[in-house]
């Protein structure tokens, strides 16, 4: 049975795909484009570090990371052959693989998983000096819901609707993480939704300036979300994650993926996967989220695994050997 997403996945700023349309590469070189997200999140710094690692340690490979509007754009770019690797949230990959996106509502069956990463935690942030205490209090408020074409915006809609609200009940503003933090500091935004591994640098900055409060996902909303979208899992944001946060805050999370096209050369996919896991310590020095990446999670990918990656996981005993 096909599950209907909380809203049809949208891909804005389609002209950005032009960024990924490069010229032909010399035969002895392989150029790789890694699609990430906005500069205020986790994908961008990890993608930049990964591009440096691949360029330095894989002979003939020249990799570059590109900032994008996020997950929906990224899966579209891989499907169209405009990006070679891409970071994306697992729910977006699943919806795209099964149903497509708003701008291309056909299944994106070229998508393949290369690695399962850390989990993105949905963080609903309000100003500490404001009146908001629960997600239900967002009614009538101006809320940053993520950039159009981002996984954050999908998560924002899921969580808001699970609390009995809709976008008609709030004033949604399609802002990046950095814009959410900046407008909260300017006191022009009441609340914002951020879906990323905590701590998020932009929210950390806001917590030490204007002050922030994390709004909890209610038990009833969690039950609803888990029943409708099983790739969302319960999680607790521990006290002390942000300045002034004195209590644990319950929320939901979804895994992140590194995806490629089925057309990617099998040996190259194997090498990219192997080097990715061999370089986790280096990636963790770029962002703490990399410490959460576990090789054993490879089997949980919601879309098919690339054969080159699967070969690596079989060698490591994560996936069963082929008879």
Domain residue extents for the chain = 14-118+257-315, 120-254
**pLDDT tens-digit series, residues 164-192:** 999 999 999 999 888 999 999 999 999 99
Closest CA to 297 of 116, 107, 54: 116
Domain spanning 120-254, CATH architecture: 3-Layer(aba) Sandwich (3.40)
Q: Compute the distance between CA of residue 212 and CA of residue 191 in angstroms, rounded to an integer.
A: 9
- The residue whose two tokens read 């020249």 is 62
120-254 and 14-118+257-315 share a CATH fold: yes
**pLDDT tens-digit series, residues 202-251:** 899 999 999 999 999 999 999 999 888 878 889 999 999 999 999 999 99
**DSSP code, position 110:** T
Query: At residue 22, does pLDDT exceed 60?
Result: no
Q: Give residues with Cβ within 8 angstroms of 300, minimum separation 6.
A: 116, 255
207 near 126, Cβ under 8 Å?
no
Instruction: Return the pLDDT at 154.
Output: 87
Domain spanning 14-118+257-315, CATH architecture: 3-Layer(aba) Sandwich (3.40)
**pLDDT tens-digit series, residues 123-141:** 999 999 999 999 999 999 9
Apex CA 193: angle with CA 187 and CA 196, to 5°?
A: 125
Closest CA to 256 of 79, 103, 43: 43
């Amino acid at each position: 049975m096909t599950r209907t997403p909380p809203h049809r996945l949208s891909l804005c700023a389609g002209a950005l795909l032009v960024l990924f349309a490069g010229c032909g590469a010399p035969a002895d070189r392989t150029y790789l484009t890694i699609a990430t997200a906005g500069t205020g999140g986790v994908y961008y710094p990890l993608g930049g570090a990964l591009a440096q690692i691949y360029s330095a340690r894989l002979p003939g490979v020249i990799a570059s990371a590109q900032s994008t509007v996020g997950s929906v754009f990224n899966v579209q770019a891989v499907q169209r052959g405009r990006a070679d690797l891409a970071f994306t949230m697992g729910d977006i990959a699943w919806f795209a693989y099964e149903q497509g996106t708003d701008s291309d509502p056909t299944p994106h069956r070229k998508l393949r998983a290369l690695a399962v990463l850390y989990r993105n935690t949905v963080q609903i942030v309000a100003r500490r000096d404001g009146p908001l205490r629960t997600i239900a209090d967002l009614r009538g408020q101006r809320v940053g819901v993520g950039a159009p074409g981002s996984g954050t915006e999908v998560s924002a809609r899921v969580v808001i609707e699970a609390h009995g609200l809709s976008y008609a009940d709030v004033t949604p503003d399609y802002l990046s993480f950095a814009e959410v933090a900046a407008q909260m500091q300017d006191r022009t935004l009441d609340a914002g939704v951020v879906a990323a591994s905590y701590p998020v640098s932009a929210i950390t900055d806001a917590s030490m300036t204007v002050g922030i409060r994390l709004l909890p996902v209610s038990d009833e909303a969690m039950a609803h979300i888990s029943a409708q979208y099983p790739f969302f899992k319960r999680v607790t944001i521990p006290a002390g994650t942000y300045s002034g946060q004195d209590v644990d805050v319950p929320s939901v999370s979804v895994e992140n993926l590194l995806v490629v096209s089925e057309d990617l050369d099998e040996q190259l996919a194997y090498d990219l996967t192997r080097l990715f896991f061999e370089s986790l310590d280096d990636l963790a020095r770029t962002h703490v989220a990399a410490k959460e990446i576990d090789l054993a999670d490879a089997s949980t990918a919601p879309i098919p695994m690339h054969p080159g990656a699967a070969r690596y996981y079989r060698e490591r005993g994560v996936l069963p050997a082929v008879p």
